[in-house]
Amino acid sequence: MALLLTVDVGNTSTHAGVFEGDQLRTSFRFATEARVSADTLGLLMRGLLDLNGIDASEVRAVSLATVVPPLTRRYAEMCERYFGVDLHVLRAQECGIPIDYEPPSSVGADRIANAVAAKARVGAPVIIVDFGTATTLDTLDPRGHYIGGAITLGPESTLAGLYSRTAQLPMVDLSAPSRGIGRSTQESIRSGVVHGMAGIVDGLVRRFREELGAQAPTLATGGLAPMLVPVCETVSEVVLDLTLQGIRMVWENAAGRAE
């Protein structure tokens, strides 16, 4: 069988998934290392595929969305050496939706993938929240055009900033607080980060809906979405594989045009 390997490279972590047609067979995450070699990537990827019951020889294509441009060349080398295929890199101009953003090429590849998958899932208008190193919000208007969004610090970045820029605040594990009013320094930090992020997201979603003139559904993705969405008031659904699905759809669109 022919399998597609999709890879979403973020600043902190990388999310990869294997598709058979439109079905996600498996997915896994690992830390993003900006200076990793192509050989290390190849050994890591083949090892993770094996652990997840996937025969690497069945991978017939690899599609990449990355916000770490220096890694593109190394992924291309990895694909050639370890999978015998050319790397497909997601680009805005082949996403199949109009992009009203200046310049279109400056939109992060993961944001484009999210927009494509969200439109296919619920139509337009739609708002997407991606909880990553940065928390991004993206919007498709009622015409189905990508019109932009907002970028703010992610929960882990906020937590790291508090620890590195203050003398007495401790580093705490990021987990959902049981209440809004923290009864200890650790609880107060967790509440500030988690409930604070939920407040930012809810405020932005409400503003976006007002500007759109529509009660657009809001999809959430990213590794921290399951923890944060329960304290948000405006998110309709969590779709953890949204970005990978979008990468697959853009690859299929590009492959279809190339035939």
Rounded to whole angstroms, what are the CA distances from 152 to 21, 63, 135, 172, 200?
A: 35, 27, 5, 21, 9
For residue 135, list its beta bridge partners.
131, 152
The 10 Å Cβ neighbour count of residue 145 is 17
Does residue 50 have an active-site annotation? no
| Residue tagged active-site, from 22, 86, 110, 141 | 110
Rounded to whole angstroms, what are the CA distances from 134 to 63, 111, 181, 223?
A: 22, 12, 25, 12
What is the sign, positive or negative, of the torsion defined by CA atoms of 31, 39, 65, 107? positive
Residue numbers annotated as active site: 110
